[in-house]
Amino acid sequence: MSLTTYAGKRNFKRTPEPVGKKKASASALSFVIQRHDASRLHYDFRLEVNGVLKSWAIPKGPSLNPKDKRLAVMVEDHPLAYGKFQGEIPEGNYGAGTVEIWDSGIYEPENVDDPSDYQHEIGKELKKGSLKFVLHGKKLKGSFALVQLKNGDGKNWLLIKHKDEFATDEYHIESIRKNKKTTTQKKETKSEAKAKTTAAPVRSVRSSNAKLEKYITPMMAHIREDSFDDPDWIYEIKWDGYRAIAEVNKKELKFYSRNGLSFDRLYPAVVDALAGIKDDVVLDGEVVVLDKNDKPSFQKLQQYGENRSLPLLYYVFDCLSYKGKDLTDLPLVERKKIAEKVIPKSNVLKYSDHVAGDGIAFFSNAVAMGLEGIIAKRADSKYYIGRRTYDWLKIKNHNTQEAVIAGYTEPRKSRKYFGALVLGMYEKGKLKYIGHTGTGFTEKILKDVYTKLQPSIREKSPFDTKVPINAPVTWVDPVHVCEIKFTEVTDEGILRHPVFMGLRIDKSAKEVDHLDVKVPKKNKSTDKTVKTSKTKKAAPIKSSSVKPDATKPVKKRGKDTSDEYNKIVKVEKHELKFTHLDKIYWPEEGITKGEVIDYYNSISKYILPYLKDRPQSLKRNPNGITDKGFFHKDAGDAAPDWVESIELYSDSAQKDIDYILCNNKATLLYLNNLGCIEINPWNSRTKNLDRPDYLVMDIDPSDKSTFEEVIDTAQAIKEVLDKAGASAFCKTSGASGLHIYVPLGAKYDYDQARSFAEIVASFTEEKLPKITTMERALNKRKNRIYLDYLQNKRGQTLASVYSLRPVPGATISTPLEWKEVKHGLSPSQFTMKTLPKRLEKKGDLFKGVLLKGIDMKKCLKRLGGG
């Protein structure tokens, strides 16, 4: 792709058009449509491809009507800089006439998941003469296609709108005929054109990501650990995004971060929506991207260029100025009323509502929904620009923290770019070490972060003191800030189990000067603790080699009654330190972390055969079942040397992951201490990773399904499998469903297992069409039970047999005799209290799953499948 033809047609001394050069394209590809009123009015459609704008002239203009197939004539490539050009091309020059930007935005090719493949795939499709793509513009949105006509010299294409939610029978563009000049029209004079411009003023928008010279620093909140009820306070959702100020007036629109970084180019959809506000106003709010579960996701926001299909919202929670009047001295609730009134109806702009007085219940609901937390605000508080005040308090559900990147360690094994980021925080003007993180990265994120850090490399450590790093380090200037999620903070102020969430572009390093959680006070007498009395219900962990000083209880710290208990024991010759054993995991039942460890210790001989040599996908709930928890697949640097692991490439994470193998009791209890309430193994073992030992039918009920219907579905599946001559084993999911396993003996690959499961599911659906479905999409299930046969995939996991589940009641995934699978059965029957006695009486009912597998060919013949 060359710009030679473009340059050859123009004399840049006589035309204001940009000279331009071929440039490397960004991950988010741009498009522009320019209304070109030349010898003939037409629209120039341009797509960014491999450093240039591929261009087509569309005589009639684009259409949102799928019935309209618009002729698009390919012209010479244009430079990327042309995408911002608008103005008058003087007479006597090529293309003389007026150029206006009619629409612009970003686009991506359809059916290409990895943004790094966009350029290559677009090039291939253009060569084939058929390109399908999705536009995210102000006027044109949704799916389109460019199709090359076979006649002629290959320059003629058709631009076609696909049928989707953005398609319409109307144009939604200005009438071309009305705007087209005729021979009887006289040319406007400069004074007439100026008069038109002043009659309809247009706000200028800064199209730059640079820092603004003048900006408003928002008011900030202090941290508080627990929520409270107070009639003089209001409570809002704490949005997990970028804080943003919007200044809208008749002449200019500015939209920027808390430190003055312009957001205009990053979030043009928000800028467009703000332009619809008629009055002069200054708003305070948060830019948020919702994930597929409609929950705010900072990670998705930070990677918004790759997630353009996800909803982008600007939640407004305050108004600082209205119609030129300063509102900062008004009470908060009055400012919020004005903010709600000035925001137009929009899919992008949203008013951030609140509740009054009921902070405890509001926080509980936020926790139940898995939200970031809440903000408590004094209802009559003034707005203090640039100040952190106790009139506003943030109460977090998840532990998150900004951290300064001080360096990175060498990568290990097959990982590229770096191993872990070294993290710091400013304390009294000096950088203090707070830990390092090597998890939370895809290969693309590793590359992006590495690239951003290269200009900041330095020879010496930015810390005044030596930091505990166990690999060679490349130090960098402490200027980049990232967001970290972690489980807790040690009494030395070190973040435990930190996970990288993304870079923060809205905060400077010097602003990272405090932790958003309280650091526990050191106990001067001893750091060691004993087992809590609450761990007596289950069989205790027995070890004759408990260290003598670990038998001394920690003294109470003043009025603090939340004693934490630790103990160090040897399990199978491996030393384990168990921490916070008195932490409550199930508030209603009063079950502690210590009891969870004791449960797994007592049933380890039963569960370990189903875990051995299987990669583990760690689901961690370190704060108990009220915390949504998170998945942590990578063993990471923190795992003890004796914990076995296997490094495998993950398609979903797009990187190599060091999966833990739970091959012994010591590893099982180590995982429990990490907060793994449930255990999630692969269906296949390391010797045959592509050949599962069994296939799984997951009976997944809707909210409206009864457990009797789940039982009926399990019996229907059993009837199909009996007809096929296939042995089957049933267990409770531990939640609301049932799982049916069919032994395969590692004789078939995942595709074969999934195909057989799909056949079984289809026969089952025929038997019970009113209550079951194979529809994966929630909106198409119509409150029916989902027959999930797609669990049969490499890397897919379900809770293991005998695994606890982080749900109310502390239920356990328990194997059943088929005679038990009948009406009256309830998953709540199987808990930490009842299961040990059941095992003593019935033994391991699931062991047949690991024995000889079925003959799939014979089974298919019996079902009539060949």
Catalytic positions:
238
- Which residues pair with residue 133 across a beta bridge? 109, 144
CA distance 307 to 343: 25
- Alpha-carbon distance of 359 to 355, in angstroms, equals 8
Cα angle value 91/95/101 (rounded, 5°):
110
3-class secondary-structure state, position 566: coil
- Phi and psi torsions of 273, nearest 5°: -65, -40
Please say whether the beta carbons of 789 and 697 come within 8 A: yes
Query: Taking every pair of C-alpha atoms in the chain, what is the biggest distance, in angstroms?
Result: 104
- Assess contact for 635 and 658: CB atoms under 8 A: yes
Q: What is the DSSP string of 44-85?
A: EEEEEETTEEEEEEETT---S-TT-EEEEEEEEEEEGGGGG-
825: its two tokens: 């059965």
- Terminal CA-to-CA distance of the chain, rounded, Å? 53
The DSSP bridge partners found for residue 132 are 145
**Residue 115 CB coordination number (10 Å):** 18
Return d(Cα 767, Cα 31) in angstroms, integer: 51
DSSP state of 96: -
* C-alpha–C-alpha distance, residues 515 and 394, integer Å: 13
Bridge-partner residues for 578, per DSSP? 567
Q: Are 47 and 53 in contact (CB under 8 A)?
A: yes
H helices then E strands: how many in the chain?
Answer: 17, 45
Burial of 52 (0-12, 13-18, 19+ CB in 10 A): buried
Instruction: State the virtual CA torsion across 655, 423, 470, 414 in degrees, nearest 10.
Output: 10
Alpha-carbon separation of residue 441 from 402, 485, 505 (angstroms): 16, 13, 18
Q: Do the Cβ atoms of 38 and 87 come closer than 8 Å?
A: no
Do you know the residue count of the chain? 866
What are the backbone angles phi and psi of residue 426, rounded to the nearest 5°? -80, 135
Residue 287 CA neighbour count, 13 Å, CB half: 30
Say which amino acid occupies 70.
R
Question: Helix (H, G, I), strand (E, B), or coil: what is residue 681?
Answer: strand
* Residues 90, 91, 97: CA angle, nearest 5 degrees: 65
Instruction: Return the sign of the alpha-carbon dihedral for residues 268, 270, 275, 280.
Output: negative
CA dist 855 and 675 (Å) reads 40
Of 437, 427, 370, 431, nearest to 397 by C-alpha is 370
CA distance 538 to 44: 74
Among 533, 811, 497, smallest CA distance to 623 is for 497
Other Cβ atoms closer than 10 A to 250: 11
- Burial of 153: CB neighbours in 10 Å, binned 0-12, 13-18, 19+: exposed
CA–CA separation, 80 and 46 (whole Å) = 9
Whether residue 581 contacts residue 587, with contact meaning beta carbons closer than 8 Å, is answered with: no
Report which DSSP code applies to 89.
E
